[in-house]
Each structure stands twice: as structure tokens, then as C-alpha cells.
Amino acid sequence: MRSKRSISLVLFGLVVGQLILMSTQARSPESHQSMLRSWSIGLLAPLMSGVSGFGSGASEVWENYADIRRAQEENRSLRSEVEELRRQLQEAKESGALNERLKASVRLQERLPARSILARVIGRDVTGWHQTVILNRGSQDGVPMKATVLSRTGLVGRVVSLQPYSAQAQLITDERSGAGAIIGVLGDSRAIGVVEGKNEQLCKMRYVPGSQAVNEGEWVFTTGQDGIYPRGIPIGRVVSVLRGSAMVSHDIAIEPAAALGKLEEVIILLDRPDQIDWSADEQSSSVSTRLP
């Protein structure tokens, strides 16, 4: 039984070998290639196609990944450029605003009847107890005690503390400050009183007789009668009036002409003239600064 099986296997092997030999000798009538080669290509073609398709797909995936990475890098680069341009634009705006402020301050200085010096605000104390700012000018720059401090739009306050290279200025909103004041131009009005600070954004004007007509929007100027400030400096505008009577003074709220909460540069008077003729241009500048 075993010998018959062996003989069958030998015969099968001989037949297969003969077929292989014949296929190597036989030629395909279409391609003139050996039949063995044609059969091999036919059997392996699907496998080769799958391998080729996988390789092509992997190549496309890699190319897409590379494109995404390049796009991400380009986006990061563009965002960085945009941020840099924004920064440069902001710096240009700030530089332009500073230039305009300095020009306005210089124009005011040129019209002042006294020596003056520009100073920069380098610190501030606007707590509930004090309303002061620190300036980068001091006694070495010729600044005297009690020197009047102005902005290009009106009265800021006066110097109350002095060091060689810095000074402390008390704002008119400080509750310890006071200035002789008049509503309207001196000579055209008899509504004279005192403007005092309240440690708030607004000041109050006291001692104006209730019999005097006072209207919202009117300008308040220094009188020069307090021995501190020259006459004619805008202090602010009347924003509200609690009417008094013949026996009771008005209760008047004053909005400072100077933007005290945003001070960056100020003018310090090195002398004290009797009067400053504040021009209409400067007064209109105060209006545009304070009103929306």
C-alpha cells in the first residue's frame, strides 16, 4: 500500500516536472513570452497591485502630512508677522499721540508770561487719602516749592514736596487743596468762590452766593487772589448746581479741565506771573478732551 502511494507521488512529480519543462519551452502566442512567466505574472499581479496601491496610498498620506505641517508653520509665521505689525502700529500711534501732546505743551509754553519747564509723570498716589503725582523734575531743574503745575488743558495743582531730581504735586482734586475761583471771565461775573478737592474725580465750588446766576457748562477760572495760582487758568466746568438762596450758597460740582486721571506730561511754572491769558484754542482743547 505504501509502495503504491510512493509510486503515485513519483508519477505526479514527473508529470508536474514535465509540465513545468513544457511551460518553459512553450510560448504565449500574444506576448511570445514563456507560459511559466505568463502564469506567474497572472498569479502575482493582484498581490503586486495591492502592494503598489498601499505604497501609493502611504506616499499620498505622507505628502498630505507634509503639506499640513508646512501650512501650520506658515500660519504660525503669518500670525507672528501680524502681531509684530500690530505692535509696530500701536507704537506708531503712541508715538504720534505723544508728539501731538508735546507740540501742544510747547505751544502753550511759548505763550506763557513766565519761565516754565516740561515734566513727565513718573508716579501717582490717588488713594482715598491723597491725590498727588510724582514728577521727574526737581530743585536741580529750578523748580520752586508751591510752583503751579499745568496741563495743556488747564490747572493740575501745585508742588508740595521737592527733591533734587523729583517733585510731588498735589492735584486740585485733593481734599487739602483750594483755589480762589470765578465763574466766567473776571470782570464779566461776580460769582466768586473757592474750588476745593473731594478726593474724587470732581471738585466742589463753595461760597458762591445763591443770588448769583450759575449755569451748567460754564467755565471756572482762577482769580489769583489766593496767593497761590496766577489769575486766568481754567480750573474746570460746572457740571451740576444745587441751587441756593439769598442766605444759602450754591452747591456746585466742577469737572477739572485737566484730565487728571490720564496725566503723562505737565508744565511747571518756574515763576509766578500775575495773570495767564488762556487762549480760545486751549479752552476748546479742554472741551474736546473732556467731552465725548
| Chain position carrying cell 460754564 | 218
Out of 30, 57, 84, a domain closes at 57
172/36 same-domain check: no
pTM score, two decimals? 0.65
% the chain with pLDDT above 70: 66
What mean pLDDT value characterizes the chain?
78
Go through 123-136 and write b for each residue having 16 or more CB atoms within 10 A of its CB, e for each that does not. Answer: ebebeeebbbbbbe
23 is a domain residue: yes
Question: pLDDT for 270-282, tens place per residue?
Answer: 999 999 988 655 5
83 is a domain residue: no
45/172 same-domain check: no
pLDDT top residue among 32 and 98: 98
94 is a domain residue: no
pLDDT band at 149 (very low <50, low <70, confident <90, very high): very high
C-alpha cell at 284: 476748546
Nearest Cα to Cα of residue 289 among 269, 250, 259, 263: 259
71 is a domain residue: no
25/169 same-domain check: no
125/238 same-domain check: yes
Rounded to a whole number, what is the largest CA-CA distance in the chain?
Answer: 147
CATH code for position 249: 2.40.10.340
127/221 same-domain check: yes
Nearest Cα to Cα of residue 231 among 218, 221, 220: 221
Which pLDDT score is estimated for 271?
94
Query: Distance of alpha carbon 126 from its chain centroid, rounded?
Result: 22
Query: How many C-beta neighbours within 10 Å does residue 171 have?
Result: 26
Give the end-to-end CA distance of the chain in Å, rounded to a whole number: 117
Q: Distance between CA atoms of 15 and 42, rounded to whole angstroms? A: 22
174/254 same-domain check: yes
206/284 same-domain check: yes
pLDDT band at 119 (very low <50, low <70, confident <90, very high): very high
Q: Distance between CA atoms of 57 and 52, rounded to whole angstroms? A: 9
Total domains present in the chain: 2
219 is a domain residue: yes
**Domain that residue 44 falls in:** 2-57
Question: pLDDT for 172-191, tens place per residue?
Answer: 999 999 999 999 865 566 68
